[in-house]
Amino acid sequence: MRLTVDHLTRYSYDTPVRSVVQSHRLAPSVFTGQKTLDWEVTVSGGTAGARHRDGAGDTVQGWTIAGPVTEVLVRVRGTVDTEDLSGVLRGHRETVAPDCYLRETAPTRTDAALADLANAATGADPLSLAHALSAAVADAIAYRPGVTHAHTTAAEALALGEGVCQDHAHALIACARARAIPARYVSGYLFATEDGTPHEAAHAWAELHVPGLGWVGFDPANRSCPDARYIRLGSGFDAQDAAPIRGIARGGAREAMDVTVAVQQSAQ
């Protein structure tokens, strides 16, 4: 499937800031399931800094914006050919050992309810168990935008019984780690299909490490594994660690952020 992305992030400051420094994970991952045809990231008033590929295989690009500035626009445009690999991350080069992703973080900390949810899932083999955990999270947390926020934890989302893709991913990661399965958060894009399934174009899911297969993606929000509709950007321990854009502004201004994303299918 050939997908085009137009992603605009607008940062606004109520008073001018002296400078802004950002770190981006906005380049499509390099693996068998996707091929980047063209891709451009622009930052208004920005100067590109160092670029490297980290131990998790993600491309990280630094940017500096000199002030005074009251608005910063980050725009991503590009085209990617994708392939359905049933969620298996094949051909992805990384050096971080999977067991590193057994580490608990604040958003993915397991409480008694999450542990009970994890322990109730059964599977004849590790892959079946991973599917069962994803289904359990999908059943326990209904998709409902606006009821959670950026800092909602997996335990809070489960107690609420509602959330968005970030909450589903955090809850699945918590449940997987409770069963000693390495798990990590993945950020990317999802093509808006015509079947009416609710989701965000700027999307998130989880990857679980399955013996014999390696990293396999699971998207409880859509009750599926990532397929040709998905573009993978990067991964981390949780949403903050895997954020496509991280940054800091020098000055005491209040920051507001607005994001618009369009993912479309184009002719091959």
What's the pLDDT tens digit per position in 141-174?
999 999 999 999 999 999 999 999 999 999 999 9
Same domain, yes or no, for 231 and 146? yes
Same domain, yes or no, for 141 and 197? yes
> What is the tens place of the pLDDT at every residue in 184-220?
999 999 997 555 454 567 899 999 999 999 999 999 9
Same domain, yes or no, for 129 and 205? yes
Beta-sheet strand order (sheet of 230-236): 214-218, 202-210, 183-190, 230-236
In whole angstroms, what is the distance from residue 226 CA to residue 83 CA? 10
In whole angstroms, what is the distance from residue 41 CA to residue 39 CA? 7
Please report, to the nearest 10 degrees, the dihedral formed by the alpha carbons of residues 46, 57, 27, 149 taken in order: -80
Same domain, yes or no, for 173 and 253? no
Same domain, yes or no, for 69 and 93? no
CATH of the domain at 30: 2.60.40.2250
CATH of the domain at 103: 3.10.620.30
Going by C-alpha positions, the residue among 167, 137, 161 that lies closest to residue 149 is 167
- Per the structure, how many domains does the chain have? 2
Evaluate whether 42 touches 229 at the Cβ level (below 8 Å): no
Same domain, yes or no, for 33 and 152? no
Same domain, yes or no, for 89 and 220? yes
Same domain, yes or no, for 74 and 99? no
Same domain, yes or no, for 232 and 160? yes
Q: What was the pLDDT predicted at 67?
A: 85
In whole angstroms, what is the distance from residue 186 CA to residue 117 CA? 22
Residue with tokens 């940054």: 247
Same domain, yes or no, for 15 and 33? yes
Please give the residue range of the domain that contains residue 128: 85-236
> What is the tens place of the pLDDT at every residue in 116-149?
999 999 999 999 999 999 999 999 999 999 999 9
| Chain centroid offset of residue 148 CA | 16
Mean pLDDT of 46-59: 96
In whole angstroms, what is the distance from residue 217 CA to residue 208 CA? 6
Same domain, yes or no, for 181 and 218? yes
> What is the tens place of the pLDDT at every residue in 22-31?
999 999 999 9
pTM: predicted TM-score of the whole model, two decimal places: 0.94
Q: Is the dihedral of CA 75, 263, 130, 121 positive or negative?
A: positive
Same domain, yes or no, for 135 and 226? yes
Q: What was the pLDDT predicted at 252?
A: 83
